[in-house]
Amino acid sequence: MRILLAGPILWAAAWAEAAPVEIRIVYDNTAAERSLRADWGFAAVVDAPGSRILFDAGADGSILLRNLSEMEVDPASITHAVISHRHPDHRNGLFTLALKNRSMKVFFLDSFPEELYRLAAAVALEPVRVRQPVEIVPRVHSTGLVPGEPDEQALVVEVADGLVVLTGCAHPGIASMVEAALRHRGARRVRLLAGGFHLIRQSDDLIRQAIERLRELGVERVAPGHCTGERAIQLFRQAFGPRFQPLGAGRRLLVD
């Protein structure tokens, strides 16, 4: 695996027999670039060959659209949108985005409240109901419903020798989200784990246990943000050293 540095950081791994995949963090509690606005929530854009996937949509549609523009992502170019769980800070921006793009294919968990399906219908979206693992596009999958409070799905990108796993909040537990990704894709390693790890209110002991479990599961690199919590981010930085990368709106992760 090669690691390429450019700007804050650029990650690279082998994308088996395919063009590069770029992940752009377009919504997060912090901003890695001054031109982008920080706000509580999460959203990332994944560029795969022939497709552009929005994973989560943040809390405020106007901020989402502004940050997309700053990162040179045309809202009309998004082909798919996957919403990790039902909380407003991960799905509200979708309904504003739909006013700019009604053709994207949207994936909701089957356990989402019917109210969210009605809101989607009001902006001409017809979400796919996800319960089992499902292919979004070739080499990009949802884990399917991982039980928790609330239920959640992660986005999984297949790369050479492993996976990239994106989590919105990891309410079922960050290790449970990774276990689901590995189990359903039959992989042994996670080259990069990025997103919200939901450790914001956990003790140091529980955070360290989560770190150890992730290492046991073969997680090689981490990029925590959103609801991970400052203390947890500090402990991940200490544990992973050069294999740690903070997130923030404006961060670009390249999977080559």
Q: pTM of the full predicted structure?
A: 0.91
Q: What is the mean pLDDT of the chain?
A: 91
Q: Does pLDDT of 2 surpass 50?
A: no
> Which domains, and CATH codes, for the chain?
14-255 (3.60.15.10)
Q: What tens digit of pLDDT does each residue of 28-43 get? A: 999 999 999 999 999 9
pLDDT at residue 13, rounded to an integer: 36
Q: Does pLDDT of 20 surpass 70?
A: no
Q: Tell which residue, 20, 28, 27, 65, has the closest CA to residue 47.
A: 20
**How confident is the model over 170-197, as a mean pLDDT?**
94
Q: What tens digit of pLDDT does each residue of 69-127 get? A: 999 999 999 999 999 999 999 999 999 999 999 999 999 999 999 999 999 999 999 99
**How confident is the model over 190-195, as a mean pLDDT?**
95
Sign of CA dihedral 46, 224, 5, 142: negative
3-class DSSP state of 165:
strand
Q: Tell which residue, 232, 160, 163, 164, has the closest CA to residue 196.
A: 232
Q: Does pLDDT of 138 surpass 60?
A: yes
3-class DSSP state of 176:
helix
Ordered alpha helix ranges (H), 109-203: 114-122, 174-185
Q: Tell which residue, 72, 61, 82, 3, has the closest CA to residue 33.
A: 72
pLDDT at residue 256, rounded to an integer: 64
Q: Does pLDDT of 224 surpass 70?
A: yes
pLDDT at residue 193, rounded to an integer: 96
In a 10 Å sphere around its CB, with 0-12 CB exposed, 13-18 middle and 19+ buried, how is residue 142 labelled? buried
Q: Report how far residue 90's alpha carbon sits from residue 41's, in angstroms, rounded to the nearest whole number.
A: 6
Q: How many CA atoms lie within 13 A of 29 on its CB side?
A: 14
Cβ-proximal residues to 5 (8 Å cutoff; 6+ apart), any chain: none
**How confident is the model over 151-160, as a mean pLDDT?**
94
Report residue 48's pLDDT band, with 50, 70 and 90 as the boundaries: confident
Q: How many CA atoms lie within 13 A of 242 on its CB side?
A: 3
In percent, how much of the chain has pLDDT > 90?
A: 84
Q: Does pLDDT of 12 surpass 70?
A: no
Q: Report how far residue 170's alpha carbon sits from residue 194's, in angstroms, rounded to the nearest whole number.
A: 11
